[in-house]
Amino acid sequence: MTTIIVCDTCNYSLLEKTHNDKTGGEILAEHVERIAADAGVEVRRQSCLMGCERHCNVAIQGAGKLTYVLGKFDPEADSAEAIVEYAQRHAESETGQVPFKQWPQGVKGHFVARIPSLG
Ligand code: FES
């Protein structure tokens, strides 16, 4: 099972922490949770992934697989669709490494880190 961890405290924009009383991270998390509901991936929220200056941030993890941290997302449905689609490809892969040709357009340029699995 692949899990998308969404930072729910990320800023809404460079100048605004919140929009309509929600952080950018909360707004992105709501989009991701809605889209992922039928996609076979789990979603969790985490307050701060320590990438605050490149909000909004997510991490994609699965047991025994590479973890990927992605950032610089706008808190919008388009971002969430790309994140969920990428997580589905991560879930289908053996190691967590998704071939570049399978990357959704919306994740390109958003990768921050790749972290090896312990297992
Ligand atoms: S507040 Fe989102 S990474 Fe720190």
What digits encode the pLDDT tens for the residues 23-43?
999 999 999 999 999 898 999
Best of 5, 8, 57, 70 for a ligand 1 pocket test (most atoms within 8 Å of beta carbon): 57
Instruction: In whole angstroms, give the CA distance from residue 14 to residue 43.
Output: 25
DSSP state letters, 90-118: HHHSSSSPPPGGGS-GGGTT-EEEEE---
Best of 12, 46, 48, 73 for a ligand 1 pocket test (most atoms within 8 Å of beta carbon): 48
Please provide the CATH number assigned to the domain covering 2-115: 3.40.30
On whether the CB atoms of residues 44 and 60 are closer than 8 A, the answer is no
CA distance from start to end of the chain: 15
* pTM (two decimals): 0.97
Atom from ligand 1 closest to the CA of residue 23: 1
Residues flanking ligand 1, CB < 6 Å: 7, 9-10, 25, 48-52, 55, 57
DSSP class of residue 7 equals E
pLDDT given at position 90: 98
Extents of the domains making up the chain: 2-115
What digits encode the pLDDT tens for the residues 57-94?
999 999 999 999 999 999 999 999 999 999 999 999 99
